[in-house]
Amino acid sequence: MYIYMEKQGIEIAHITNDGKQINGKPIDNKEVTTQELKDVVRMFNEKKPMFIKFYANWCGHCKTMAEPWKELIKMVKDPMNEVSDKKFGIVSVESEKIGNDINKIISETENIEKIEGFPTIGSITYDKGGKAIFNHYEGERTANGMLKFIKNLKHLKNNSVGMKGGSVTRRRKRKMSYKTKRNMKCKGKKKNKMGRTRKYRNQ
């Protein structure tokens, strides 16, 4: 599986603190090419486009997204899919792994300053000058919706990419109200054993 995806130029990364999925089961190495954060850093340094998700194990919206994300991975690996021969990465990063390496990527990427809620989903692409740009994904949280977003990325042979016709986010009609979108993201808080709420801090 790893060799197949490498030939196709697709890398699947799932970065966690304990090697487990959000449901507590071990990550299946047949479904990913890496669990190493250094490979995400390498992709960024190589200017390889990425569709990336930051999530937290305690976030209900993140748990709901787990199956559509798995389905998305199956779809992009399908040889019959038009993106299966493109060079890009699909990356999941658990909140506990947001540290110096991830913060460095964020600091060098336009349109994102820090991870303030979960899930945070979008693409990291690069302009002609090599500058990284984050485009927030605000579409349907389904495999088909995310695949459509990926298909709108313009992949070049040298992995330097831009967006067709500008940002997908800007072109999409904002059908959801601010309140609705806000309710679809878990803010950086979780309850401790005493039932009190504490604020999430980037590590």
Determine the distance from the C-alpha atom of residue 35 to the mean position of all C-alpha atoms in its chain, rounded to a whole number.
Answer: 14
Q: What is the pLDDT of residue 7?
A: 44
The pLDDT tens digits for 46-78 are 999 999 999 999 999 999 999 999 999 999 989
Which of the given ranges, 1-10, 121-130, 151-160, 175-184, has the highest pLDDT on average? 121-130
- Categorize the per-residue pLDDT at 181 as very low, low, confident or very high, splitting at 50, 70 and 90: low
Cβ-based neighbours of 157, under 8 Å, separated by 6 or more: none
**What pTM was estimated for this model as a whole?**
0.76
Cβ-based burial of 153 (10 A; exposed 0-12, middle 13-18, buried ≥19): buried
Tell me the CATH number at 32. Answer: 3.40.30.10
Residue 51: strand pairing partners: 90, 123
Q: What is the pLDDT of residue 16?
A: 97
Retrieve residue 12's tokens. Answer: 């699947």
**Which tops the pLDDT comparison, 173 or 75?**
75
Q: What is the pLDDT of residue 86?
A: 86
Using CA of residue 16, residue 7, residue 80, residue 134, what is the dihedral sign? positive
Structural domain boundaries enclosing 145: 2-199
**What total of structural domains would you count in the chain?**
1
* pLDDT surpassing 90 at residue 147: yes
When the pLDDT of each residue in the chain is averaged and rounded to a whole number, the result is 81
Q: What is the pLDDT of residue 153?
A: 81
- Distances from the Cα of 50 to the Cαs of 59, 84, 91, 180, 189, in angstroms? 23, 14, 7, 26, 27
**Which tops the pLDDT comparison, 108 or 168?**
108
- Categorize the per-residue pLDDT at 135 as very low, low, confident or very high, splitting at 50, 70 and 90: very high
